[in-house]
Amino acid sequence: MEKRTLGTSGLQVSSLGLGCMGLSFGLGPATEKSEAIKLIRAAVERGVTFFDTAEVYGPYVNEEIVGQALEPFRKDVVIATKFGFQADPENDNRWTATNSRPGHIKQAVEGSLKRLRTDAIDLLYQHRVDKGTPIEDTAGAVKDLIQEGKVRHFGLSEAGAQTIRRAHAVQRVAALQSEYSLFWREPEQSVIPTLEELGIGFVPFSPLGKGFLTGTIDASTRFDSTDFRAIVPRFSEDNRKANQALVQVITSFAKQKGATPAQIALAWLLIKKPWIVPIPGTTRLSRLEENLGSTTIHLTADDVRTIEEASSAINIQGERYPVTHAKLIDR
């Protein structure tokens, strides 16, 4: 698989990464550990070198799986993980409280290093901007960890343009991870121009719209109680029905290209900028191989124009997060 460099950081990764969250958290019942490890290693065998996890996925379990799966290949892969949440004892110990104070960051990193079975984290993201801690303090703490050799690169997740600038002024930001797809194009307004100006890579999560752009979800789909989409407004039955118009546009175009809707959605992201590296997640080998097939699809400028004009004409229904999660997004 071809490699890409995240901005001007020098951090080189496969053009498509693997988001590992869904193997143990957030999108239905967890995958059995041995099967999850097998899938991650299958990705390595197929050329994937970029793997994404976080301490809150599980919590902790996902980092342990990723660490065990990648231990034999550690020198050949890039592992990204995240800090920034703290269990809230007044809310059933849910990870809804942000905490990016320097002391907490260093404590979180020690735990992640052990679970990931490594002596250095390749890319460490702040999971969500902590409005109670100046971003300069957070960036400074990560800078210290980089100087100590425990972290190699600093990243942000769901951060707005001004926060990105402030953090970057203290410690070079190698990558921003945020939602971006044909289902959610808001980053094009101010975030992507900022990233391009500062030489920061972009790692879109949910590049397939949490599975919606694959064409396998419709108004009749029923989500498991452990599936985050069950509480996402955009995935209500009425909104899924209304938003099928976007899937139809992508599906129609995919047929013309002899590809699947998922492959077109990913190929669109890959053609947008050479420093964009999507991280679709999956629990199935067949889907992994389908996603990787997107790297061989070439879209022309006319193709991109056609897709964007048709998709922009559709008014997507529903917010992408419930209120409790939306309040954590930095603007």
Tell me the CA distances in angstroms from 123 to 144, 146, 277, 279, one per residue in order.
14, 10, 14, 14
* Cα–Cα dist 236/240, whole Å: 6
Q: Quick check: 127 and 99 in contact, CB under 8 A?
A: no
Looking at residue 181, the DSSP 8-state letter turns out to be B
Exposure pattern of 285-319 as b/e (b: 16+ CB <10 Å)?
eebbebbbbbbebebeeebeeebeebbeebebeee
Report the alpha-carbon angle 121-122-127, nearest 5.
75
Q: Quick check: 14 and 50 in contact, CB under 8 A?
A: yes
57 is catalytic: yes
Q: φ, ψ for residue 204 (rounded to 5)?
A: -70, 125
Type of residue numbered 278:
P
Phi-psi category of 205—alpha, beta or left, where left has phi over 0 and alpha has psi -120 to 50? Answer: beta
Residue 59: count other Cβ atoms within 10 Å of its Cβ.
Answer: 16
Catalytic residue among 57, 60, 180, 321: 57
Per residue, the 3-state secondary structure of 46-80, as one string, reads CCCCEEECCCCCCCCHHHHHHHHHHHHHHHHCEEE
To the nearest 10°, report the CA torsion of 331, 326, 167, 51: -130
Q: φ, ψ for residue 43 (rounded to 5)?
A: -65, -40
Task: Indicate which residues carry an active-site annotation.
Answer: 57
